[in-house]
Chains A and B, each alone.
Chain A
Amino acid sequence: MSKEAEIESFLRREIAAVLRLDEAAVQTDSSLDELGLHSMAFVELLILIEKQYGVQLMRAGLTRADLGSIRQLAHRIDRAL
C-alpha cells in the first residue's frame, strides 16, 4: 500500500469515528463539508493527524481546496511529511 493510500485509509477511519458515521459512508472522494464536518470535529481530526503523522496542517497553509475530498487531504498530508 502506498503512503498516500495508507493516509486515505487512516482518514476514512478517523473521520467516521469523529462524525460517528459508518466507515462505508466515508469514501475517498467524499467532501469533508458534505460529510458534515464542522469546526469542533475538524479540530479533533487535526489533532489526530498531528498525533499520527506529526504534521500541523493549520500551520502548513491548509486551504479549503485541500478539503475538497479525503483524497485531496491525504495528498496534502503526504506532501507535508
Chain B
Amino acid sequence: MTARRPPPRRFYLNGIDWNVQAMNRACADAPGGDYQFLIVTELAGTPDAARLRTCLNRLQERFPLLHGRLRRHPFNLAPYWEAPAAVTPYDLLTVADLSRESDPEAAAHRHLTARLNTPFAPDGPKLAALLLTGPDRRSRLALHFDHRLFDAAGGERFLTLLDRLWNGVEPEPERLLRREGPWLNEWRHQFACGRTVNRAMIALKKEGRPAVPGNGRGGAGCFLVNRVDDEEFAALEARADREAGPMMLTPFLAATFLEALHEMFRRRGVTPSFCVCPMTVNLRRGDEDEMFFNRWSILPLYSVSTAAREERIAQQVELFFEGMKTALPYSLGKASLLCRPLPLPLMARFTARPFAGTAGTAAFAYLNRTECAADRLLGETVTGLYHVPRVPPSPGLGLFLNRRGNRLNLTLSWTEETISDDERDLLAAAIPEAARGG
C-alpha cells in the first residue's frame, strides 16, 4: 500500500505567473483594483443560492491556496505561492435581485462593472461569486477570479469543477494542483529562449514605436460585450477562408481588429502609426489536469497603417507561421523565468514596456477551445458564457473573444478615458461587421 502524498503548500511560479504578478502590481498601483477577470454564465433558471454557498465553502476547504499569498525563497529567490495549512471559509457569494429594476440589462452591467473594479482583500480568498437573479427565472452567475491564481482556461475548468461538486462529485485536489517547479535548472535553455525573444523584439523595434491608446495611468475598468450568432459565425469563417486561407480564422480576426485600431488612430489624426497587439496564446494541453496558475503566453501581432487590408491579413498569417516556427510564445514563457530575481516593482515597470518601450496598442485574445462546454450548469441550462478581463493600465485596452459552440462572444475591455464612446463603438463593432460583410 502506498502512502498518500500530503497536499503541497508551496507552488512555484513559472515565468508567466511572475509576469502576471507584475501586471497585478501595476493594476494595484493604479486606481481600480487588481489584475482580475470575470466569467459570466447566463442561465435559463436560477440555482439555489444556499447550495451554491455550500459548494463554494467546500472548494475553499479543499483548495487552501485560494487563501494563499506570494512568498520568495530566501536562498534561491524563486517566488512561490504559499497556501495556508487550513482555512476558515469566507462567504464568497453575493446575490442581487434584478427583477424589480426598470432596465435589468443596465443594472446587470452596473453590478458586473462594480465587481470588476473590486480588488481582493490581501489576506482574503482570491475568488468571489456574484449571482444576479431575474428578470423572470433567468439568472447570471459571475465568478470573479484573481489572475495570479487562474487564467481564462483555468477559470472555465474551475466552473466545471463547481458544477461537478454541485452534482455530488468530490474534487481531487492532488490531480489539479501544480507539482512542477522551481525551474532552477536548464539555464542554457532559458538563455536560448531569451535570445529568440530578443530577436523578435529587435525586429519589432525596426517598425518604430507603436501607437498607444491611453496615458497608461490606469483607471476604472470598463467593458462592452458583443456577440456573433451561429449564422454570422459561419459567414465569418467563410470570409476568413477566402481572405486568409482555410483554418486561418484567428489571424483574420486579429487583422480585422488591427484595422479598426488603425482607423481609430487615423480619426485621432495619428498617422502613420504602427500598431501591435500582444495576442494571448493558450499553452494548456488537453490532457493536462492542472487548474491553477497561468499556462499561456504572448505572440505579438503587428501591422503598419499604410498596409492595405489584404496585406494586413497576409502579414498576420505570416506572423503566425513565424511565431510558431520559432516557438516564440513558448520561449517567452521560459525566458521570463530569468526575470524572477527582479523585485516586483521593477518587474511591473518591465512588463509595461516590452514592445519598443510600450506594452503594445491593445491586448487581443481568442479562446477557441471551451473548457466548460456543458449545456447545463448548477442544474440550469446555459444560454451564454463570456469572459470579462480587466486590462492593466498599459495598454489599457483589449479585445477578448471566446467561442462557444458556433457562437462568438466579444468583450472589449478598457480603462476609463482610454477611448471615447465613438472609438468604443468602432472597436467593438469591427468583427461583427466583418461577419455581416462590412
Interface residues of A (CB under 8 A from B): 19-21, 32, 36-40, 42-44, 46-47, 58, 62-64, 66-67
Contact = CB atoms under 8 A, between A and B. Distances in A.
Given A39-B248, A63-B246, A20 B324 contact: no
B245 interface: yes
11 contacts: A32-B247, A38-B368, A40-B281, A40-B320, A43-B321, A44-B324, A46-B321, A47-B325, A58-B245, A64-B246, A66-B246
Contacts of A66: 246
B189 to A, nearest CB: 20
A42 B287 CA distance: 18
Interface in B236-252: 241, 245-251
A55 B177 CA distance: 42
Interface string B348-370: 00000000000000000000110
A40 to B, nearest CB: 6
A39 B320 contact: yes
A64 B238 CA distance: 9
Interface SS of A by simple majority: helix
A21 B287 CA distance: 8
B251 A20 contact: no
Interface in B207-258: 241, 245-251
A47 to B, nearest CB: 6
B141 interface: no
A67 B237 CA distance: 14
5 smallest beta-carbon distances between A and B, as pairs:
A39-B250, A20-B286, A38-B368, A42-B247, A64-B246
Given A20-B287, A40-B320, 4 more contacts: A42-B247, A43-B321, A63-B241, A67-B247
A36 B325 contact: no
Nearest to A46: B321
A39 B150 CA distance: 24
B317 interface: yes
Interface in B81-107: none
Interface residues on B, range: 20 to 34
B245 A62 contact: yes
Contacts of A58: 245, 317, 321
Contacts of B247: 32, 37-39, 42, 67
B268 interface: no
Contacts of A63: 241, 246
B4 interface: no
B267 interface: no
Contacts of B5: none
A33 B249 CA distance: 12
A42 B320 CA distance: 10
A36 B246 contact: no
B361 to A, nearest CB: 21
B156 to A, nearest CB: 15
B246 A62 contact: yes
B285 interface: yes
A36 B367 CA distance: 12
Given A20-B286, A32-B247, A58-B245, A39 B321 contact: no
A74 B362 CA distance: 39
Contact of A67 (B246, B285, B320, B368): B246
Contacts of B287: 20
Given A43-B321, A67-B246, A38 B241 contact: no
Nearest to A66: B246
Nearest to A42: B247
Contacts of B241: 63-64
A40 B245 contact: no
Contacts of B317: 58
B285 A36 contact: no
Contacts of A36: 369
A68 to B, nearest CB: 10
Nearest to A62: B246
A39 B321 CA distance: 10
A38 B281 CA distance: 12
B286 A39 contact: no
Nearest to A37: B247
A42 B325 CA distance: 12
Contacts of A37: 247
A39 B369 contact: no
B324 A47 contact: yes
Nearest to A19: B286
Interface string B312-356: 000001001100110000000000000000000000000000000
Nearest to B285: A20
